[in-house]
Amino acid sequence: MIIKGGKVFTDNFRFEETDVFIEDGKFVADESYVTDKTVIDATGLIVIPGLIDVHTHGAFGHDFCDGDVEGLKQIAAYQRRCGITRFCPTSMTVSVENIKTAFETAGKLRDNGKEYAEIIGINMEGPFIEKSKKGAQNEEYVRTPDYDLFKALNEAAGNLIKLITVAPDVEGAMEFIQKAYGEVNISIGHTMADYDTAAKAFEAGANHVTHLYNAMPPFTHRAPGVIGAARDCKHCFAELIADGFHIHPSVIRATFEMFGDDRIVLVSDSIMATGMEDGEYSLGGLTTYAKDGVVTLADGTLAGSSTNLFECMKRAISFGISPESAVKAATANPAKSIGVFDNYGSITPGKAADVLLLSEDFDLIKVV
């Protein structure tokens, strides 16, 4: 297959008018490697890699923690229709049995056909969090970090866990980070950690922050907290939910400038209300209410988002983030943050040929 005449987001993270060559599901260097000469005319269109969402709980009326294969298929199909070609279904703070069932379900859905986004890992967001910053997590199931439990759950998942959230200020957290370092990407989140504690966690091996700004102390001039420590840790990736509700557009702009566009990972944090009408839904067993794009618990606590990653990317651009930076933060950076950039995240020969064709206004035209 040859995609001709488009404005391509190349692997040097710039838009260039060039052609894209695909053979046997992989990008190749030039036409000499292509046996299927089918041509897609992309004249006047933008060509970017498929998006990668490393933090999404559900969509289209289904929750990953339901542990239901058919429901997870519906989530994966919705993701692909929206231009998210690879994703990490994300668990909540629920019972261990519930988490195990959900993880086993993810293992059953891998490589399930081209109509679905591919599961390239699992994001284990709970239950190793700090109760006062639980957000929309269920306090009943919060527990101290447990390396043996992580190992058992990862085995049940077929070693799919790519990312795990840990509050570094709780008992046993530092020991957990030191043991798990090298086996999984460790994300700091749902925490009251101060700057020094967070910095110590990054030094011990943590390399990621779960939805920066949300469920952690604010960034202030005398107490920079997790946010300041993450900024100073050059190997740390930071998630941003750019739905316009979790973080003010001015802060989104400031964060891209503060961190640079190499380390920002746009995520949706989407829940089952995503792609659905306003109404009452569930998140990890808790009742949520979706109205006018905002999802909350009964007490008003934000409870994930009802926006998919493609829309978050578009909104970031509308907030003043350059298209180059926004696309990078939704493709290459997520892949790098979970260690799969060798195979996904850019239009590079040898990588999986996930391609989106967009209008000049960044509306999705086609998923290849």
Hey, what amino acid is at 221? H
DSSP letter for each residue of 80-129: HHTTEEEEEEEE-S--HHHHHHHHHHHHHSTT--TTSPEE--EEE--SSS
- Mean pLDDT calculated for residue range 74-80: 96
Annotated catalytic residue: which of 269, 278, 354, 361? 269
Query: What CA–CA distance (Å, rounded) separates 168 from 202?
Result: 9
Residue 243 has pLDDT above 80, yes or no: yes
148 burial level (CB within 10 Å; 0-12, 13-18, 19+): exposed
Query: What CA–CA distance (Å, rounded) separates 333 from 173?
Result: 26
- Mean pLDDT calculated for residue range 162-189: 98
Residue 343 has pLDDT above 70, yes or no: yes
- Mean pLDDT calculated for residue range 233-257: 97
pLDDT the model gives residue 111: 60
User: Using one digit for the tens of pLDDT, what is the confidence trace for 185-227?
Assistant: 999 999 999 999 999 999 999 999 999 999 999 999 999 999 9
- Sorting pLDDT into bands at 50, 70 and 90, what band is 339? very high
For 287, the enclosing helix (H) or strand (E) is strand 286-291
Catalytic site includes residue 269 = yes
Query: What CA–CA distance (Å, rounded) separates 222 from 289?
Result: 36
Judge whether 279 and 287 are in contact, CB under 8 Å: no
Among the residues of 82-146, which ranges form H helices? 96-108
DSSP letter for each residue of 4-60: EEEEEE-TTSSEEEEEEEEETTEEESSGGG-S---EEE-TT-EEEEPEEEEEE-EET
User: Using one digit for the tens of pLDDT, what is the confidence trace for 288-300?
Assistant: 999 999 999 999 9
- Sorting pLDDT into bands at 50, 70 and 90, what band is 14? very high
pLDDT the model gives residue 108: 84
For residue 328, the SS3 value is helix
Place of tokens 């046993």: 172
Residue 282 has pLDDT above 90, yes or no: no
Residue 109 has pLDDT above 90, yes or no: no
User: Using one digit for the tens of pLDDT, what is the confidence trace for 91-103?
Assistant: 999 999 999 999 9
Mean pLDDT for the chain overall? 96
Residue 113 has pLDDT above 80, yes or no: no
- Mean pLDDT calculated for residue range 169-176: 98
